């Protein structure tokens, strides 16, 4: 009799690879990309006031922030894989709820989507730091964005087109993509991540690791880069479509502009090579400086709507350069023993920017037109450029020139 053996891939799950994480991110990009241009339009149509839309985003940002900070605490009681699956399921529920179409349903759907985004982001980052070597982090980030390019490029334009054709369509596509993301995660069999040591200490208060994060200047600088970069994206994604509607350019322009901008994701491998020939510091400074100048130009030329929109679009290309480079100072500095906790703090940049941007926009709209938000975004980007001047000049060099996180000089407190 022939002995029947269980296939090796069933007995031992293959080690997660850069490509596996990139595919998972690609599925998420479809789920989020199809709705990223739809939610601002639906919110504006439901509430009919840009200031009220800013207020709702502001409150949702606060709730989402607390959710992200609670993820590591919950992970001590609930296996990480189920935290991820629960977060991804909120994508499905939120998308289906939005089909109902009432203002309350749209607001609740946006809240669930925000909670899903921050929950899966914390878990995804922790898994990456568990399974991907530090020397591969740059390639992992670039591959993640490259595989996400299709979802982020076609999604925004397709979302507004489907919305006009049949209102439930973009939400059904997002729900389906979220289901595929959950299936892919389960197939990857990531489990609960690598266990470094079994802690016998009592679970840490979810806010207890904030002082340690603040005491590490490179982590704090990396987080601030992410907050400022995300504020730039908030201005572009939420307020460009509203600007287009109020300027008489139509409700589809925002989604089409975002799709064109996201087409730059296909050139992220070339951005990575360009960054490697120079340094992370050079790339981060260039991204903040040029995007800040173009956002300022959009504010000054707002009387010419098409020119203002083009300035914002070109500025967004440099925000993508920041997507490639500005997260690396944090990833290169985090300690293995603090992966989950510091990933949770780092992921709060989405929610902090989601609080700051609509909060500032809310105040700006009390005294200035919509273009004032572009000027405020420009000021934030210039602050990022000033902060990037304190990065180690050789951070990110490869080969003999490469500076490891332990060798890299620590930023002085006044530079942070």
Minimum mean pLDDT range among 135-149, 187-201, 209-223, 383-397: 187-201
Distance CA 289, CA 292 (A): 5
**In Å, how far are 64, 203, 284, 316, 379 from 200, measured between CA atoms?**
30, 9, 41, 47, 47
Question: Residue 228: its pLDDT value, please?
Answer: 94
Provide the pLDDT confidence category of residue 198 given band limits of 50, 70 and 90: very low
Whether residue 128 has pLDDT greater than 60: yes
Going by C-beta distance under 8 Å and a sequence separation of 6 or more, which residues neighbour residue 120? 28, 84, 87, 88, 91
Going by C-beta distance under 8 Å and a sequence separation of 6 or more, which residues neighbour residue 281? 388, 391, 392, 393, 395, 396
123-156 residues labelled b (16+ CB within 10 A) or e (exposed): bbbbbbbbbbeeeebbebbbbbbbbbbbbbbbbb
**In Å, how far are 23, 67, 112, 121, 229 from 83, measured between CA atoms?**
20, 12, 14, 11, 27
Quote the crossing angle between the two packed helices 103-131 and 50-75, to the nearest 10°: 40
Q: The pTM is what?
A: 0.74
Q: What are the tens digits of pLDDT across the range 316-361? A: 999 988 888 877 777 777 776 666 667 667 777 877 888 899 999 9
Going by C-beta distance under 8 Å and a sequence separation of 6 or more, which residues neighbour residue 176? none
Distance CA 334, CA 219 (A): 7
CB-based contact 58:362 (threshold 8 Å): yes
DSSP sequence for 101-164: --HHHHHHHHHHHHHHHHHHHHHHHHHHHHHS-GGGHHHHHHHHHHHHHHHHHHHHHHHHHHHH
Q: What are the tens digits of pLDDT across the range 247-258? A: 888 888 888 888
- Domain spans of the chain, in order of start: 15-192+211-415
Provide the pLDDT confidence category of residue 229 given band limits of 50, 70 and 90: very high
Alpha carbons within 13 angstroms on the beta-carbon side of residue 98 total 31
Question: Residue 402: its pLDDT value, please?
Answer: 44
Distance CA 149, CA 171 (A): 20
Residue 215's φ and ψ, nearest 5 degrees, are -85, -5
Quote the crossing angle between the two packed helices 50-75 and 38-47, to the nearest 10°: 130
Q: What are the tens digits of pLDDT across the range 91-118? A: 999 999 999 888 899 999 999 998 998 8
Whether residue 410 has pLDDT greater than 60: no
Going by C-beta distance under 8 Å and a sequence separation of 6 or more, which residues neighbour residue 13? 188, 189, 191
Q: Could you please state the CATH topology (level 3) that the domain comprising 15-192+211-415 is classified under.
A: Growth Hormone; Chain: A; (1.20.1250)
Question: Residue 374: its pLDDT value, please?
Answer: 95
Residue 319's φ and ψ, nearest 5 degrees, are -65, -35
Report the 10 Å Cβ neighbour count for 293.
18
Question: Residue 48: its pLDDT value, please?
Answer: 80
From 268, 386, 261, 378, select the one nearest 328 (Cα to Cα): 268
Report the 10 Å Cβ neighbour count for 320.
24
């Amino acid at each position: 009799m022939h002995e029947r053996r269980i296939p090796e891939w069933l007995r031992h799950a293959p080690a997660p690879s850069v490509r596996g994480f990139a595919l998972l991110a690609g599925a998420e990009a479809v789920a989020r990309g199809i709705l990223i241009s739809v939610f601002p339009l639906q919110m504006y149509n439901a509430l009919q006031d840009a200031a009220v839309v800013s207020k709702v985003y502001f409150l949702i940002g606060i709730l989402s922030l607390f959710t992200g900070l609670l993820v590591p605490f919950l992970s001590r009681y609930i296996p990480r894989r189920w935290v991820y699956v629960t977060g991804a399921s909120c994508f499905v529920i939120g998308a289906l709820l939005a089909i109902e179409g009432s203002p309350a349903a749209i607001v609740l759907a946006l809240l669930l989507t925000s909670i899903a985004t921050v929950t899966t982001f914390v878990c995804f980052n922790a898994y990456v730091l568990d399974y991907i070597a530090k020397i591969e982090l740059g390639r992992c980030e670039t591959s993640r964005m490259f595989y996400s390019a299709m979802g982020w490029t076609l999604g925004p334009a397709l979302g507004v087109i489907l919305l006009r054709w049949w209102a439930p369509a973009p939400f059904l596509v997002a729900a389906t993509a979220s289901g595929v993301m959950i299936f892919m995660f389960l197939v990857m069999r990531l489990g609960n991540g690598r266990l470094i040591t079994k802690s016998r200490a009592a679970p840490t208060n979810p806010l207890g690791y904030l002082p340690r994060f603040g005491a590490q200047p490179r982590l704090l600088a990396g987080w601030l880069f992410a907050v400022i970069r995300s504020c730039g994206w908030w201005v572009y994604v939420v307020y460009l479509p509203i600007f287009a509607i109020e300027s008489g350019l139509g409700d589809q322009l925002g989604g089409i502009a975002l799709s064109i901008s996201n087409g730059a994701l296909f050139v992220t491998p070339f951005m990575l090579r360009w960054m490697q020939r120079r340094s992370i510091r050079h790339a981060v400074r260039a991204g903040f400086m040029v995007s800040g100048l173009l956002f300022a130009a959009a504010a000054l030329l707002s009387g010419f709507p098409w020119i203002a929109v083009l300035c914002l679009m070109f500025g967004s290309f440099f925000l993508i350069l920041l997507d490639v480079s500005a997260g690396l100072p944090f990833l290169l500095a985090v300690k293995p023993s603090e992966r989950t906790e510091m990933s949770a703090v780092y992921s709060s940049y989405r929610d902090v920017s989601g609080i700051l941007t609509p909060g500032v926009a809310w105040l700006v709209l009390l005294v200035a037109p919509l273009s004032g938000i572009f000027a405020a975004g420009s000021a934030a980007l210039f602050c990022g450029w000033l902060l990037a001047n304190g990065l180690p000049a050789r951070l990110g060099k490869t080969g003999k020139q490469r500076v490891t996180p332990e060798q890299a000089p620590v930023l002085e407190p006044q530079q942070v």
